[in-house]
Amino acid sequence: MNRPVRHIAIFTGVLVLALLVRATWVQFVRTDELANHEKNRRVAIASFSQPRGNIIVGGEPITGSTVTEGSDLKYKRTFKDGKMYAPVTGFFSQGYGSTQLESLNNKLLNGTDDRLFLQRTSDMLTGKKPRGGDVVTTIDPKAQKAAFEGLGDRKGAVVALDPRTGKILALASTPSYDPSVFAGTGGKDKAAWEALEKDKDKPTLNRALRETYPPGSTFKIVTASAALENGLYSDIDGKTDSPDPWTMPGTRTVLPNQNPTAPCKDASLNVAMQHSCNNVYGKVSSDLGKQKMKETAERFGFNDAKVDTPVRAAKSTFPDNINKSQTALAGIGQGSLTATPLQVAMMTAAIANDGKLMKPYMVEELRGPDLQSVEKHQPEEMSQAVSPEVAKKVQRMMEDTATKGTGKAALIDGVTVGGKTGTAERGKDQKNLAWFISYAKTADGSPVAVAVVIDPDESVPNDEISGGKLAGPIAKKVMRAVLDK
């Protein structure tokens, strides 16, 4: 071979090798990146080429699919009672992506999940169109409706749990949005999306899982648990060392009680719970110290950054690096202590379940298009937050609070109910939050624990903001909806 031909052959060989290397790089190394690239239209066309599987509540689908007119994206998502269930489903849009259960279970719903391989193969051989699987939730439709309608046009959230298993029975957040109105790519969909994005009330924010608030006096059930668990007090009806007024350590600031006429001086833990005495529970927290308070709070779920339902909840925080007066504020649910409504429901459920905290979840089962189970959830214990003995003492305090104290709004005839109100301060120029927590007990245990938070607008007078008035009746309706089953 003469020299010029040899050079051409070598050069050609290098080009072929470079082509092979490039093709290998594109097909294997960058396959996921290119497949999911925002400008890869083929992926979008494939995603919307067939009806999706459904999200199921109470045995009935709350989602569907409909043909899109005048688009190469054949199907778009529809939602039944979209505003009520948006905190559960999330959205699935041709133009704006997906969230929550729609996003986390996308492959199952669109039929490409590896666990559906045999079903896909069977459909291909029999000529059936590809089909997606279903996501079966734990949501109780009556409880969800009671929560959503109870919140009405107010800003707030409701979480209801089955303390025995961790099942999420209701998950409501208001103001809400209808995912159907921007499921496509048309002009109306764009306008609806932009309006939601500009809305200062943030309708797309899942307040039940993703917003944190000071929990106010609802946290006193954790403080009481810490006092009893650590032996600071053992008799819930015995006197405590609690001056009224009480000045926080290292300050000249008196920790005030909301009701100045309440019998809070040296009050027992039980009486102090009934009247929500800040001097008692603030001093208890300060006396125990931040470490013991933090350890107890963490057994209830605080400071856990990975609470997946499977939608991940925001982290609820018991603060580090706080002094005695700041620890006192944390003990009454103020200061830099923050919690999601889910976390507040979790601590209520743990007390109702004799101290055992079950991991919250809202997906009961994943199933294929043939209705065969692909994955079934098993209840899982998160922690033994407190001993059964301590939990039973706190239960009695909450039940006395419901019958004799501030928690009467949740009482239900013929059922044992425990309750606790909370009014959380948020600083200058912000309205206080109204909280209410409760549980119901029957002969079979406690089938429901509820947390309700209301974020009042400027039209609500300050003297009307209380957990008993605003949030208590909602908690009662949700519990009743569960018990009526």
Provide the CB-side half-sphere exposure for 345 (13 A, CA): 36
Three-class DSSP labels, the chain = CCHHHHHHHHHHHHHHHHHHHHHHHHHHHCHHHHHCCCCCHHHHHHHCCCCCCCEEECCEECEEEEECCCCCCCEEEEECCHHHHHHHHCCEECCCEECHHHHHCHHHHHCCCHHHHHHHHHHHHHCCCCCCCEEEECCCHHHHHHHHHHHCCCEEEEEEECCCCCEEEEEEEECCCCHHHHCCCCHHHHHHHHHHHHCCCCCCCCHHHHCCECCHHHHHHHHHHHHHHCCCCCCCCCCCCCCCCCECCCCCCECCCCCCCCCCCCCCHHHHHHHCCHHHHHHHHHHHCHHHHHHHHHHCCCCCCCCECCCECCCCECCCCCCHHHHHHHHCCCCCCEECHHHHHHHHHHHHCCCEEECCECEEEEECCCCCEEEECCCCEEEECCCHHHHHHHHHHHHHHHHHCCCHHHCCCCCEEEEEEEEECCCCCCCCEEEEEEEEEECCEEEEEEEEEEECCCCCCHHHCCHHHHHHHHHHHHHHHHHCC
Between CA 137 and CA 143, with CA 139 as vertex, the angle to 5 degrees is 170
Active site residue 217: yes
The β-bridge relationship of strands 55-57 and 134-137 is parallel
Residue 331: strand pairing partners: none
What is the dihedral sign for C-alpha 240, 244, 248, 251?
negative
Q: Which residue of the set 98, 173, 176, 217 is catalytic?
A: 217
> Residue 419: CB partners within 8 Å, gap ≥ 6?
398, 401, 402, 406, 407, 408, 409, 410, 411, 436, 437, 438, 472, 475
Picking from 183, 174, 184, 182, the residue whose alpha carbon sits closest to that of residue 204 is 174
**Alpha carbon separation from 389 to 201, 229, 384, 385 (Å, rounded):** 43, 9, 12, 12
- For residue 149, give the amino acid letter: E
Q: Which residues are marked as active site?
A: 217
